[in-house]
Structure 1
Amino acid sequence: MIKTLESLHAAIDRGSTTVDERKFLDSYGNDLTQAHECIRRFQRTTDQTQLNQALRLYYQVFICIRTQLASITSLELDQISPRLATNCQNLELAVPGTYEPNKPPITIRNIQSHITVITSKQRPRKISIRGSDGYEYVFLLKGHEDLRQDERVMQLFGLVNEFLSTNDETRRRNFTIQGYSVIPLAPNNGLLSWVAQCDTIQALIKEHRGRACIPFDTEYSYVREKAPNYDQLPLLNKVEIFEDVLNSFKGDDLAKILWHKSSSAEIWLDRRSNYTRSLAVMSMVGYILGLGDRHPSNLMLDRTSGKVVHIDFGDCFEVAMTREKFPEKIPFRLTRMLCKAMEVTGIDGTFRMTCEYVMDVLRKNRDSLMAVLEASVHDPLLSWRLLKNNNNEQSATLSITSNRLPEPDQQQQHYQSHLSTINEEDNDHESTVSDKMQQQHVQEPDQKIRAVEIMNRVREKLTGNDFHREQPVDIPTQVELLIQQATCHENLCQLYIGWCPFW
């Protein structure tokens, strides 16, 4: 902890270079200087009271910063990075994600000064870059997250789109995966191209229920009222409560959203078809990839076309199914709200037919898919994620329920826990590529075993042996078994309640 604090104080001692840095030093400089002096006295004398006093000061600054950060919704580039605002103009560098071989590059003309802060957990920034072609390119700048796996997933989607475009049946029906550019800048940050005219399913439902004066978390509240200890209940009781929720609420929000946002019946029918087909395509591809964590905030709906767009591909190769807490039991998301949005035919019409066509294409091209996936699994820059502890998904967030300070003998532990929370995610990602390469050598045997298991599992899926029957199953049977798994109430009721299985 002290080593981390020393590096931060060294950065402060170098002085401010921007308006925001000067404001920070004016507001917190004195408290941080006093805390640093207490740390130094503790190092000289090992006096515990000096360490407690330092932790008290750091904690006060932490509370003020956390409160202030929550209210920040925008930034000005000239205040946070004047050099970038003044020097980043008329560059020879291409706009990220636009370079194409044998074509003139679209270079960066300038970066727009106004930056929007997205009020989600990681608080990513929405930035705009104006290109030499006059168009504005919007990106999401994400920190505390490794986007290299997302980049590989997008490469896989591009390959699948090529397969779908060369098959007569899938090309005629316009089966494609809508992707976006992913540009990793470092092991812990990168750029995502902004998916225009898209909203997450969670945001759409929240907006719809707000207009209808329906509480957003009505199913969740109903469950907590019926069974406050729902997560600890036996499976039989969970199924009973889960089915009670389904019978008590219609769950037709998404179907109504598609209808209300369409200006005519023809547009609605076209959007419904695109919605069903895109959902089916990604269900099959996501199953082969072992894609998990498909909660409503990771599924987006294109307002124009009605297509489903998936984001956040951190949980691949079935890691969500093997985590210790709330393991996922389903191959893809196919909850009742998604099914009701398909209208009269439900899963037995366009959805099932699309799944069968797509699975047929994936099976026929399994050698190419296996080659791409194997390269990703054995990549030393990515394979460390296969052994990563996956329990962080449901880790409780920090909440302060009282302003009362703990007893003196508990102060050090109390403050250290909060201070570690500040840099918890940074420390997880700040290791360099060489550090991860060293880690890869240390864990090489385990990673090789895990990589072989993953590839064997993918091979089973692409040959119809994934259900371990005496003979490989044909495509219609495989699709039917997958749909049964995805819609089974016993599987859905065991999911983390934040995954919204009731929707």
Structure 2
Amino acid sequence: PIRHMLQVPSWIQAQAAESFMKLAEFCSSRLESRNDADPKMDMSAEFQSHGAELAQTVVRSLVEALRFDSEEARNRFPRALDLCASYPEVRDEFIELTSNVPCWVFLRWVPQLLASLGFHEAGCSIPLLERMAKEYPQAIFYPFQLTKEDLANSPSAQKYINRLHLLLNDNRLLCAFVESLNLLSYADQRYVDWHKSTSLAKSTHDRDRVAQLYGSFYHDYLSKSKTWTGNGYGIPLKMFASVYAAVFHQLFGYPDRCEKLLRMTKKQFSNALAQVENVSPMAKQICKMGYLELRYLSPWLADFETHCKEDSFMDQFIELPGQYKGKVVPDLENHIRIAGFDSSVLVMTSIRKPKRIGVRCNDEKEYRLLVKGGEDLRLDQRIEQLFDVFNQILRSNEKSRSRNLYLRTYNVVPLTRNVGILEWLPNTVPIKSIVMPQGGTSSELIRKLTDEMKYEVLACGKGLNLQDSWGRMCRTVSSREIIKRFRARESQIPANLLRNGLRALCASVESFISIRSRFAKTFAVFSVCGYICGIGDRHLDNFLLDESDGTLVGIDFGYSFGISLQLGIPELVPMRLTRQFINILSPLDTTVLLKHDMVYTMRALQESKHIILNVLNVFVKEPHLDFVNEAKRVRDKAKRADIPSNMSGTQSSVGSLDSKDEDLTWLPKQKIKFAQMKLERFNPKYIMSEEFSLTPHSKKAFYSAVKSAICGDRSSLRFRTENQCADVEQQIDCLIEHATDPGLLGRAYVGWHPFV
């Protein structure tokens, strides 16, 4: 699309783009090697001047490559943002150069551009953002709402926020749509989120945050009228407000003067919460599941077509979310618009009770969206962004492309900190429903074995809770005994439950072979990509199977970048490769066949590691809510236990945990360092043991026993392999061995069903 404006042959454009990218890569690598070689020279004027010259060349080359429609330059654009943050000298040139590039090119990086508004380089981003707000307002509207929340207490960012607000908030229909989706969440769930977030804010003495949280919760769930939808909210919320509004007034005050809440100590706040929860059980009784009338939950959405004709919403419209990919020029005239909503909604049974809604659009088709409340979906969105980059790398690599290796991705659109939309994946079912069908004998057997495993762990604690009992088990029960118990459970479950489930989908042997092959390839690719991103919580509900072609889809990435190692019962395996997955290709050697595709995937990603690390580095600029909370939690425990904040043998670039001007981005930076090590062939056991040493578990009595299990016994391959593997094949061999170690699976959380 850009090349038509330049009026030059495509082959010349391709050569020019390639030349600019080679120059950008060369200067970028020189810049990185200089900084790594002598970090103490950072303050010298000569060093900074030379660095600024290199940074200017990188930025100039990247933007010139963008003008020549380079896909690689679009992938590496975060590097330019990173350099604008580090080198003020490049900012003016960045603004001038990007002004000559169509703004749609930058649409995929809108969240990162918005995140920069809270930093010194905000002036670089605002011209691009204003252009996008004028040309593609609905592409930037949703991420802007999140940024507005994040930077509400940042005086320096307000002038930029106000400029964008004037351009974006004139679409009242969009504002009402977001408010309506937010109010689909059941109030009792949001109450739990509110008191957890408030407890965290109180622990850091953040009065502004406490007041903000209370005001938001009060407005959404206790007030009689909403900003955009009036009284168009559902019966569950009206019933909740009628029961609890007076109680909240009495205990905490009104949102505009919540001095009672602000003055409360931690103990007083806990006592007040106990009084709230003792008022009435009614709220829990109205949290229905299954198919419901949409009007029951949201009269405003049910009457959407009528509202569109009202004077206040005249000439306004809502595009179906997820249409701006940043890969081609958006065709706004043909963008799909929402015309109405299906009269019924499906409330799912999972913990957050997400709602599947049907959306009727102007193309005479119905689309399904999953509305998920109570979670900040930005981390899921960032992982999908990263997966998209992985796919482009795999497509550009000849060997991975010839083997048809790719990840299935889906749209994630965060609307606020508490609600977001996910693309509904048709023809998919959770792996758990195949392995553990409702009412099936395998399901009952697995539940029985899960209970046995739980009671076995609790027996070690002799009255302690599950987490503390687990710690005592790791310390007092030998690895040989843990493996023996694990193998005994594993042997009781038929080995081919998943394989037979796949076979039941097929009408012929040929179709089974095809579906099985697609399953194995997508599983191999996801395993490697998930490992690089440190994605945990891989229980059987977090894998979906596309029944039409066998594609495996990973979902729910809330525990990414190694956060699952911080859990009370940490995940000690780098990916899920349990018996059911191993036997999917039987009677063939599954580990060998999986290994080939894993090697091709890992090698392709390692060859383009600079692109991946560029993307990861800008994530540090927008620390996700879970990252920040986790950093605070780890920091508080570390201060009490004197846990170091940096990896063994390395100097922290963000200061110690005792620093007064503590930068809470230290945790994401550390996670990115571990991702880099994975892309540099470090032994999985070495990375995990280093990462585990940074957790609060490192001061626990069970720490040495668990770390020893992570490293493996003396006969294991990963134990005998150096800290950095000799090649990708050896790295994948260590990874597979680590993931299938019965000593680690025997120490897994029971709800993970490690023996399945």
TM range (shorter): 0.7 to 0.9
Aligned twin of 2:750: 497
Deviates more, 1:296-305 or 1:345-354: 345-354
1:17 aligns with 2:234: no
Could you say if the C-alpha distance between residues 493 and 471 of structure 1 is closer, same or farther in structure 2, counting changes exceeding 3 Å? closer
Aligned twin of 2:97: none
Q: Provide Cα deviations, 1:292-349, integer angstroms capped at 9, x if missing partner.
A: 111111111111111110001111111112x152111111110111111122224333
Picking from 63, 66, 76, the partner of 2:294 is 76
TM score, norm. by length of structure 1: 0.77
Q: Tell me the CA shift for residue 253 of structure 1.
A: 1.1
Q: Tell me the CA shift for residue 93 of structure 1.
A: 2.8
CA distance in 2, matches of 1:35, 1:300: 41
Q: What letter corresponds to residue 351 of structure 1 in structure 2? A: L
Aligned twin of 1:429: none
Picking from 329, 336, 353, the partner of 2:596 is 353
Q: Tell me the CA shift for residue 36 of structure 1.
A: 5.9
The SS at the match of 1:229 is helix
CA distance in 2, matches of 1:371, 1:99: 22
> 2:233, 2:300 within 8 Å by CA — same for their partners in 1?
no
Aligned twin of 1:144: 374
Q: Tell me the CA shift for residue 387 of structure 1.
A: 1.3
> 1:127, 1:141 within 8 Å by CA — same for their partners in 2?
yes
Q: Tell me the CA shift for residue 135 of structure 1.
A: 1.8
Aligned twin of 2:483: 239
Picking from 655, 667, 681, the partner of 1:464 is 681
Could you say if the C-alpha distance between residues 212 and 190 of structure 1 is closer, same or farther in structure 2, counting changes exceeding 3 Å? closer
Q: Provide Cα deviations, 1:79-100, integer angstroms capped at 9, x if missing partner.
A: 6233662325895332111235
Aligned twin of 1:281: 525
Q: Provide Cα deviations, 1:455-487, integer angstroms capped at 9, x if missing partner.
A: 322222111134562654201100000000000
Q: Tell me the CA shift for residue 176 of structure 1.
A: 0.9
CA distance in 1, matches of 2:407, 2:243: 54
Q: Tell me the CA shift for residue 116 of structure 1.
A: 1.5
CA distance in 1, matches of 2:273, 2:681: 58
Aligned twin of 2:499: 255
Picking from 526, 546, 564, the partner of 1:302 is 546
CA distance in 1, matches of 2:559, 2:244: 41
Identity %: 25
> 1:88, 1:110 within 8 Å by CA — same for their partners in 2?
no
Aligned twin of 2:353: 123
> 1:208, 1:253 within 8 Å by CA — same for their partners in 2?
no
Aligned twin of 1:97: 322
Aligned twin of 1:410: none
Aligned twin of 1:65: 283
Q: Tell me the CA shift for residue 226 of structure 1.
A: 6.0
Deviates more, 1:264-273 or 1:235-244: 235-244
Q: Tell me the CA shift for residue 153 of structure 1.
A: 0.8
Q: Tell me the CA shift for residue 167 of structure 1.
A: 1.9
Aligned twin of 2:628: 384
Q: For structure 1, list consecutive stretches of 5 or more residues without a partner in the other structure.
A: 44-50, 391-441
Q: Tell me the CA shift for residue 150 of structure 1.
A: 0.9
> 1:91, 1:107 within 8 Å by CA — same for their partners in 2?
no
Map 1:19-38 → 2, pairs under 5 A: 20-21=234-235, 24=238, 29=242
Supply the RMSD in Å over aligned alpha carbons.
Answer: 3.6
CA distance in 1, matches of 2:219, 2:396: 55
Q: What letter corresponds to residue 142 of structure 1 in structure 2? A: K
The SS at the match of 2:440 is helix
Q: What letter corresponds to residue 317 of structure 1 in structure 2? A: F
Could you say if the C-alpha distance between residues 200 and 9 of structure 1 is closer, same or farther in structure 2, counting changes exceeding 3 Å? closer
Deviates more, 1:454-463 or 1:300-309: 454-463
Aligned twin of 1:372: 615
CA distance in 1, matches of 2:633, 2:251: 36
Aligned twin of 2:134: none
1:342 aligns with 2:585: yes
Q: Provide Cα deviations, 1:336-381, integer angstroms capped at 9, x if missing partner.
A: 1111112222433321110010011011110101111111133245
The SS at the match of 2:544 is strand
Could you say if the C-alpha distance between residues 471 and 172 of structure 1 is closer, same or farther in structure 2, counting changes exceeding 3 Å? closer
Q: What letter corresponds to residue 307 of structure 2 in structure 1? A: N
CA distance in 1, matches of 2:275, 2:486: 48
Aligned twin of 1:473: 726
Q: Tell me the CA shift for residue 214 of structure 1.
A: 4.6
1:179 aligns with 2:409: yes
Could you say if the C-alpha distance between residues 456 and 244 of structure 1 is closer, same or farther in structure 2, counting changes exceeding 3 Å? same
> 2:528, 2:601 within 8 Å by CA — same for their partners in 1?
yes
Q: Tell me the CA shift for residue 56 of structure 1.
A: 9.1
Picking from 291, 307, 312, the partner of 1:87 is 307
1:270 aligns with 2:514: yes
TM score, norm. by length of structure 2: 0.53
> 2:591, 2:736 within 8 Å by CA — same for their partners in 1?
no
Q: What letter corresponds to residue 555 of structure 2 in structure 1? A: I
CA distance in 2, matches of 1:22, 1:296: 31
CA distance in 2, matches of 1:345, 1:156: 32
CA distance in 1, matches of 2:754, 2:443: 22
> 2:235, 2:296 within 8 Å by CA — same for their partners in 1?
no
Q: Tell me the CA shift for residue 128 of structure 1.
A: 1.6
The SS at the match of 2:436 is helix
Q: What letter corresponds to residue 177 of structure 1 in structure 2? A: L
CA distance in 2, matches of 1:12, 1:35: 11
**Number of paired residues?**
442
CA distance in 1, matches of 2:532, 2:588: 25
Greater RCO structure (CA 8 Å; 6+ sep): 1
CA distance in 2, matches of 1:222, 1:10: 41
CA distance in 2, matches of 1:140, 1:127: 6
> 1:78, 1:113 within 8 Å by CA — same for their partners in 2?
no
Q: For structure 2, list consecutive stretches of 5 or more residues without a partner in the other structure.
A: 1-194, 196-209, 254-259, 261-268, 310-314, 461-469, 635-658, 687-721
CA distance in 2, matches of 1:494, 1:12: 47
> 2:359, 2:367 within 8 Å by CA — same for their partners in 1?
yes
CA distance in 2, matches of 1:72, 1:62: 24
Q: Tell me the CA shift for residue 130 of structure 1.
A: 1.9
Aligned twin of 1:311: 555
1:229 aligns with 2:459: yes
The SS at the match of 2:384 is helix
Aligned twin of 2:637: none
Could you say if the C-alpha distance between residues 221 and 252 of structure 1 is closer, same or farther in structure 2, counting changes exceeding 3 Å? farther
Could you say if the C-alpha distance between residues 259 and 88 of structure 1 is closer, same or farther in structure 2, counting changes exceeding 3 Å? farther
Picking from 644, 650, 667, the partner of 1:450 is 667
Which structure has greater helix proportion?
Answer: 2
CA distance in 2, matches of 1:75, 1:128: 12
CA distance in 1, matches of 2:445, 2:236: 44
